[in-house]
Amino acid sequence: MGGDIIKRRNANAIVDVTDIHFDDKWFDILICNHVLEHVPEDNRAMRECYRILKKGGIAIFSVPIDLKRHETWEPPADMPEDEVERVCGWDHVRLYGLDFSRKLEDVGFSVRPIIYDGDVREVHGLLEEPIYLAMK
């Protein structure tokens, strides 16, 4: 099943990641690919992902991440939207740093980042991001 906040051709369910309408422990596997950077309440979304995952389940997360930044950057509430986009990218509400694993761990996941070996290329000014395997 694929879900998105709005109806799209590759999503057969409308899903708000901060209020997922599935029972606890519903899924064995969850993929959250380039979603959380768009979500104002990302911690709430992470908790929901944890809630719907079965014990022993695996979640795969990817977000744009600046591997040179130790902590996630959250813009001040009064910062103009165009300035936020200049820092984070179009339609993003934050810029994740190396603390992304800890953010997932704080909601209960056991996390294993998979970081690319060899040549790391730059994409849109950021180093290509790791994939985060998160287990419940």
User: Using 50, 70 and 90 to split pLDDT, how confident is the model at 130?
Assistant: confident
Rg (C-alpha) for the chain, rounded Å, is 15
In a 13 Å sphere around the CA of 85, the CA atoms on its Cβ side amount to 5
Instruction: Report domain extents, the chain.
Output: 3-135
Predicted confidence band of residue 1 (pLDDT cuts 50, 70, 90):
low
Q: Which CATH architecture has domain 3-135?
A: 3-Layer(aba) Sandwich (3.40)
**135: Cα separation from own chain's centroid:** 15
What stretch of H or E contains 48? helix 42-52
pLDDT of 122 reads 55
Q: Which of 11, 83, 112 is nearest to 3 (CA)?
A: 11
What pLDDT sits at residue 6? Answer: 61
Min mean pLDDT across 42-56, 103-117, 122-136 is at 122-136
C-alpha 126 chain-centroid distance: 16
pLDDT tens, 111-127? 999 876 655 555 544 45
- The reported pTM is 0.86
Q: What is the pLDDT of residues 75-91, one digit of tens each?
A: 999 999 999 999 998 89
